[in-house]
Structure 1
Amino acid sequence: MSAPHLPKVAGIDPEVPVSTQTAAPLREIPAAPGAFIQDRLAGWVSDLTTLHELTERLAATATLDAALNELLHAGAALVGARRGLLVLERAGSTTPSTTLGLGLGPADLGHLETVERSATALGRILDGPPEAADARDGIATPDLLGDQDLDPRHREVATRLGYAASYALPLASEAAGRLGGAVWFYDEPGEPSEKQRHLVGLYARYATEHLARLTELERARADIATVAEELLPSRLPRIPGVRLAARHRTGPQGGGDWYDALPLPDHALGLAVGSVGGSGPSAMAAMGRLRASLRAYAVMEGEDPVAVLSDLELLLRLTEPARTATALFAYCEPATRKVVLAGAGHTPPLVLGDRRCEYVETTLSAPLGMLACWEAPSVEFSPAPGETVLLYTDGLLRRTGDAMDRAFARLHSAAASVPKADRHDPAAVTDHVLRAMLPDGLDRSDSTEDVVVLAAHFD
Structure 2
Amino acid sequence: MLDIPLRVRVDVDALIAEQRDMGVCDAIGRNAPAGRPAAMSTPHLPKVAGIDSAVPGSAHTAAALAAGDPGPVPAIGPGALIQDRLASWVSDLTTLHELTERLARTATLDDALHELLRAGAALVGARRGMVVLEPPEGRGPAITTGLGLAHADLGHIETVPRSATPHGRILDGAPATIPGAVAQADLFRDEGLDPRLREVAARLGYAASYALPLATKEAGKLGVAVWFYDEPAEPLERQRHLVGLYGRYATEHLARLLELDRARRRLATITEELLPSRLPRVPGVRLAARQLSGPRGGGEWYDALPLPEGALGLAVGAVSGSGPSTLAAMGRLRASLRAYAVMEGEDPVAVLSDLELLLRLTEPARSATALFAYCEPALRRVVLAGAGHTPPLITGTRRTEFVETSLSAPLGMLACWEAPSVEFSPAPGETVLLYSDGLLRRTGDSMDRAFARLHAAAAGVPRALRDDPAAVVDHVLRTVLPGVDTDGPGDADGPGDADDVVMLAAWFA
Give TM-score scaled by structure 1 length.
0.88
Which residue does 1:430 correspond to in 2?
A: 473
Question: Aligned with 2:415: secondary structure?
Answer: coil
Distance 1:132 1:435 in 2: 47
Distance 2:414 2:244 in 1: 61
Where does structure 1 lack aligned partners over 5 or more consecutive residues?
1-25
Of 373, 391, 402, which aligns to 1:348? Answer: 391
1:193-208 alignment to 2 at 5 Å? 193-208=236-251
Distance 2:141 2:448 in 1: 45
1:26-71 CA deviation, whole Å, 9 max, x = no partner? 9864124322222222222322222222212211111001100111
Distance 1:91 1:439 in 2: 34
Equivalent residues of 2:341, 2:351 under 8 A apart: yes
Further displaced range: 346-355 or 66-75: 346-355
Of 194, 202, 209, which aligns to 1:159? Answer: 202
Distance 2:137 2:435 in 1: 43
Distance 2:482 2:418 in 1: 38
Distance 1:92 1:352 in 2: 47
Distance 2:373 2:403 in 1: 12
Which residue does 1:20 correspond to in 2?
A: none
Distance 2:189 2:360 in 1: 78
1:238-286 CA deviation, whole Å, 9 max, x = no partner? 2222222222112211111000112222222111000111111111111
Letter in 1 for 2:500: D
CA drift of 1:353 comes to: 2.2
Letter in 2 for 1:444: A
Of 454, 460, 466, which aligns to 1:411? Answer: 454
Which residue does 1:72 correspond to in 2?
A: 117
Larger Rg: 1
Question: Aligned with 2:309: secondary structure?
Answer: coil
Which residue does 2:492 correspond to in 1?
A: 444
Which residue does 1:5 correspond to in 2?
A: none
Which residue does 2:507 correspond to in 1?
A: 457
Which residue does 2:431 correspond to in 1?
A: 388
Distance 1:140 1:340 in 2: 71
1:292-303 alignment to 2 at 5 Å? 292-303=335-346
Further displaced range: 201-210 or 449-458: 449-458
Distance 2:177 2:382 in 1: 70
Letter in 2 for 1:364: L
Of 358, 368, 373, which aligns to 2:416? Answer: 373
1:181-207 CA deviation, whole Å, 9 max, x = no partner? 111122222211101101111111111
Equivalent residues of 1:260, 1:273 under 8 A apart: yes
Where does structure 2 lack aligned partners over 5 or more consecutive residues?
1-70, 486-490
Equivalent residues of 1:166, 1:185 under 8 A apart: yes
Letter in 1 for 2:241: H
CA drift of 1:391 comes to: 0.9
Letter in 1 for 2:124: V
Q: Does 1:275 align with 2:318?
A: yes
Letter in 2 for 1:186: Y
Question: Aligned with 2:316: secondary structure?
Answer: strand
1:61-100 alignment to 2 at 5 Å? 61-91=106-136, 93=138, 95-100=140-145
Which residue does 2:365 correspond to in 1?
A: 322
Which residue does 1:364 correspond to in 2?
A: 407
Distance 2:483 2:461 in 1: 18
Question: Aligned with 1:453: secondary structure?
Answer: strand
Letter in 1 for 2:159: T
Superposed CA RMSD in Å reads 2.2
Distance 1:279 1:395 in 2: 12
Distance 1:93 1:289 in 2: 30
Equivalent residues of 2:139, 2:259 under 8 A apart: no
Further displaced range: 145-154 or 284-293: 145-154
The alpha-carbon distance between structure 1 residues 110 and 438, as it changes in their structure 2 partners (threshold 3 A), is: closer
Distance 1:92 1:370 in 2: 46
Distance 2:331 2:265 in 1: 18
Q: Does 1:289 align with 2:339?
A: no
Q: Does 1:106 align with 2:156?
A: no
Q: Provide runs of 4+ in structure 1 moved above 6 Å.
A: none
Further displaced range: 150-159 or 57-66: 150-159
CA drift of 1:445 comes to: 4.4
Equivalent residues of 1:252, 1:445 under 8 A apart: no
Distance 2:439 2:130 in 1: 39
The alpha-carbon distance between structure 1 residues 165 and 221, as it changes in their structure 2 partners (threshold 3 A), is: same
1:170-224 CA deviation, whole Å, 9 max, x = no partner? 1122322221111112222221110110111111111111111111111111111
Give TM-score scaled by structure 2 length.
0.80
Which residue does 1:227 correspond to in 2?
A: 270
Equivalent residues of 1:62, 1:214 under 8 A apart: yes
